[in-house]
Every structure is written in C-alpha cells, then in structure tokens.
Amino acid sequence: MSVVLPESINTLENGTFLRCWDLTEIHLPESLTSIKDGVFWECHSLESINLPANIKTIGENAFLGCDNLRKIYCKPTTPPSIERYTFDHDIDNRKIYVPSNSVNAYKTAKVWAIFDDEITGYNF
C-alpha cells in the first residue's frame, strides 16, 4: 500500500499509521514539521522513508517496530529533535542519509549520536 499525504499537513498525530502492516511507501509533504509519538509503530513493510527538510521533531516510538526500515533519508540540515526510541536500535544494514554538509552535526547531536555508524552523507 502506498500513501501520498497532501501538502496541507504539517503534523502527523500520535499513532496515525500504527500497525499499518501493509504500508510499503509513504510520501510525506514538504510542509510536514512534526511526527508525533508512535506514528509508524510496527509498520513492518515500510523499507524506506524520506523525511522532508522542514521536519523539526520526531516523537518517541515513531518508527519503533519498523524492522524492515533500512533507508532513512533525512533532509533537514539541522538534526530534528528525536527521542531515544524514535527508531529501533538493532536494525542490520540500515543507513541514515543526511545532507553531506551536516554529517558531523547529526553524529554529535543528542540521541542521533546513538546511530553514529549508520549516518552517511547524501546530496539531496
């Protein structure tokens, strides 16, 4: 299942796609600034996500249980605020792509530093 969200959305509320096991692809609008707690919790079929440049906060458990989420494209040049359990910690071969000129900012940012070896530069 693929979902395209309209540009008018700026916040995804708690649990919006909770346990949406058939969700394989989602297109987040550039207007999105906040992903609340548990939005994509246990979306097992989700393999990649493109986080728009305007995202400022990603809540607790937002992507917890997304055990096939291997590619995270995070466009903001300033690392968004995340929580300790925003993402699963034990995902093999996951890459978190961030703007090439922001790699150090992500690797040293609070909580993002946990994912230091998964963060790599990308030219968006």
Give the contacts of 84 (CB within 8 A, at least 6 positions apart).
60, 111, 114
What pLDDT shows up at residue 91? 86
**7 confidence band (pLDDT: 50, 70, 90):** very high
Which residues touch 110 (CB under 8 Å, ≥6 apart)? Answer: none
> For residue range 27-68, what is the model confidence (pLDDT) as tens digits?
999 999 999 999 999 999 999 999 999 999 999 999 999 999
56-107 pLDDT per residue, tens: 999 999 999 999 999 999 999 999 999 999 998 878 899 999 999 999 999 9
Q: Is the dihedral of CA 77, 107, 12, 59 positive or negative?
A: negative
Q: Which of 100, 78, 94, 102 is nearest to 115 (CA)?
A: 94
CA dihedral angle for residue 112, residue 114, residue 115, residue 121, rounded to 10 degrees: 50
